Structure 1
Amino acid sequence: MNSLQQIAAFADTAKHGSFAAAARETGSAPSTLAKAVARLEQRLGVKLFHRTTRQVSLTADGERLFHRCQRLLVEVDELQADAAGVRASPSGTLRIDMPIVLGRRLVMPLLAQLAREHPELALDVRLQDGYVDLVKEGIDVAIRVGELSDSTLVSRRIGSQSMVLVGSPAYLTGRGVPRRLEQLALHDALIFRMPSTGKDRPWRFRRKGEDVELRPESRVRVNDGEGLVHAALLGQGLAQLPDYFVREELARGQLVEVLPGLRPPPIPVSVVYPGARLVPQRVRVFVDALVGLEV
């Protein structure tokens, strides 16, 4: 087995966590993959996996090789696609990771349209609010909200997210409408607990050209955006949410924006994917479609 096949066997095993699982996915025998990895380890002079009877885990050397070889394998797949003349037609499985509410409300309709336009394209959609390692999890592309910290990923901004402070008419009738930031201390706060960190997301505002951050006391914390919307609809207090979470509720008068003149600066929304000279066509068409998305 040549070097490239050995690297592919290693990457498949690392991705699935065992020789047996990787063999089922690739249609190979577990012993074939194990021998290929053993030859690669012997050739490189390093141990790539910690092995048990049921699973394998990457060593530090294995982690480094796994991250680097992903780019190589993507490029090989694209070269093969070019040689086969299928680059113009997106095909294969597009693996996407994106925030739950943004994905459900804004991106799923776009994906449905892409599936209709490209019958050879399959979708593997993961909706979650925490960040994942795209390379390690085998994700093609992800949508992320906020400033980006991973410089190894290619990024493209697709829009921005405005934050609005809202409350139900019944709550505001009973407790009064705050006119200044200082009056928020007199109100019940509904707080979003960020799944990625487990920490409370602070309320942010912009007053007279300066950013203001508040961390109000709260009896109600929710780690799901739609759950936070429902808490506000039930009159449990004030909540700060992305505007697209509550567009319909605001339009119907079920929620009312509070302190609209103190909205914080919009938060960037970006699409990210592992860097490579040759990007799969399935990723290209998805990214191009996202650019026209109204976030």
Structure 2
Amino acid sequence: MAGLQAFLAFVETVKRGSFAAAARSLGLSASTVAKSVARLEADLGLRLFHRSTRQVVLTTEGEELYQRCSRIADEIEALHDEAAGARARPSGTLRLSAPVVLGRQRVVPALAELRRRHPQLGVELELADRQVDVLADRLDGALRVGPLADSALAARRVGEHHIVTVAAPAYLARRGTPGTPEELAPHDCLLFRSPSSGRTRPWAFAGGVTATLGDAATLAINDGEALVAAACAGMGLAQVPDYMVAEAIARGALVEVLADRRPPPLPISLVYPSARQPPPRLRAFIELLCGPMAPVVN
């Protein structure tokens, strides 16, 4: 019967993409890892990988086995890390996902600080506005904006997402400044079109007031940074997260309007697999987000 080492060799091969990379991670030879996986396949009577000269790719049976045993391997890794004192010295590769603009403007600078503190730590960051599957994509965690629905995931609130309505001073000088949401009707309004659904996002205000702005909309863009650029160019009003326009407001390219009608902020949460305690590398990231510097989302 295959032992624990064979299962660990299998899991590490999936994570690293080859027997050679898995061997380096485990401190073994590539032939030892390959033989361990072969013995596991023989014991189970299953083909776990399609092999080529450059890489190994999971079979359907291999994927099913990986989903079952990867959590056990993570538990063993966490126990080993804590026993070795790794709580104070995170290691390995931190795998994260974040929304595109939040990732570019806030997460990347935070990861630079994390790497400064822990230069031995590797990082893989996926930027995507879709909701990724943390478990299936084998991520340590993902940043999400808004209410959470994943009962299979643990969550840590790390900040808030404020929505602001902005325009260029030149536009407001030309067209006037709206004092209420109802006064938006004659204005040029720049909308965000979701790349995933194709729908434009309604504008939200305090008290649960929403405005679809169908008649007032003059431009719809599926990229948040391009939407901000259009507002800076004086094309109209835009409603976007505050972190997207903080720099433009600071230099006077944009000003906030309807500030007293801001909608309630949405939570920004870091979600991660709930079946285990966060590994040291993820704990270090959480501590950075929630510590006194809090460079990501505050």
| TM-score of the superposed pair, with normalisation by structure 1 | 0.81
Q: Percent identity?
A: 45
Q: What is the CA–CA distance in structure 1 between the aligned matches of 2:3 and 2:169, rounded to whole Å? A: 66
Q: Check the 8 A contact 2:7/2:37 in 1, yes or no.
A: no
The residue that corresponds to 2:22 in the other structure is 26
1:129 aligns with 2:126: no
What amino acid maps onto 1:35 in structure 2?
A
What amino acid maps onto 1:267 in structure 2?
L
1:103 aligns with 2:99: no
The residue that corresponds to 1:72 in the other structure is 72
Deviation digits for residues 146-178 of structure 1 (CA, Å, limit 9, x no counterpart)? 111111111010111110111112222222222
Q: What is the CA–CA distance in structure 1 between the aligned matches of 2:4 and 2:67, rounded to whole Å? A: 15
What amino acid maps onto 2:237 in structure 1?
L
The residue that corresponds to 1:139 in the other structure is 139
Once the two structures are overlaid, the 10-residue window that deviates more, 88-97 or 27-36, is 27-36
Q: Give the 3 Å change call, closer, same or farther, for CA 63–193 of structure 1 in structure 2.
A: farther
Q: Aligned to 2:111, what secondary structure does the other structure show?
A: helix
Residues 109-258 of structure 1 aligned to structure 2 (within 5 Å) = 109-206=109-206, 210-217=207-214, 218-258=217-257
Q: What is the CA–CA distance in structure 2 between the aligned matches of 1:220 and 1:23, rounded to whole Å? A: 51
Q: Aligned to 1:245, what secondary structure does the other structure show?
A: helix
Q: What is the CA–CA distance in structure 2 between the aligned matches of 1:179 and 1:278, rounded to whole Å? A: 49
Alignment RMSD (CA, Å): 3.0
Q: Give the 3 Å change call, closer, same or farther, for CA 147–39 of structure 1 in structure 2.
A: farther
The residue that corresponds to 2:275 in the other structure is 276
Gapped regions of structure 1 (runs ≥ 5): none
| TM-score of the superposed pair, with normalisation by structure 2 | 0.81
User: Deviation of residue 144 (structure 1)?
Assistant: 1.2
Q: Check the 8 A contact 2:41/2:48 in 1, yes or no.
A: no
Q: What is the CA–CA distance in structure 2 between the aligned matches of 1:194 and 1:6, rounded to whole Å? A: 45
Q: What is the CA–CA distance in structure 1 between the aligned matches of 2:43 and 2:14, rounded to whole Å? A: 13
Q: Check the 8 A contact 1:23/1:33 in 2, yes or no.
A: no
Q: Check the 8 A contact 1:178/1:184 in 2, yes or no.
A: yes
Q: What is the CA–CA distance in structure 1 between the aligned matches of 2:234 and 2:49, rounded to whole Å? A: 53
Deviation digits for residues 31-90 of structure 1 (CA, Å, limit 9, x no counterpart)? 647635634654xxxx7879799985664x766654443321111112222344434311
Q: Give the 3 Å change call, closer, same or farther, for CA 37–220 of structure 1 in structure 2.
A: farther
What amino acid maps onto 1:2 in structure 2?
A
Q: Check the 8 A contact 2:9/2:36 in 1, yes or no.
A: yes
Once the two structures are overlaid, the 10-residue window that deviates more, 119-128 or 285-294, is 119-128
Q: Give the 3 Å change call, closer, same or farther, for CA 238–68 of structure 1 in structure 2.
A: farther
Q: How many pairs does the alignment contain?
A: 283
User: Deviation of residue 118 (structure 1)?
Assistant: 1.9
Q: Give the 3 Å change call, closer, same or farther, for CA 31–107 of structure 1 in structure 2.
A: closer
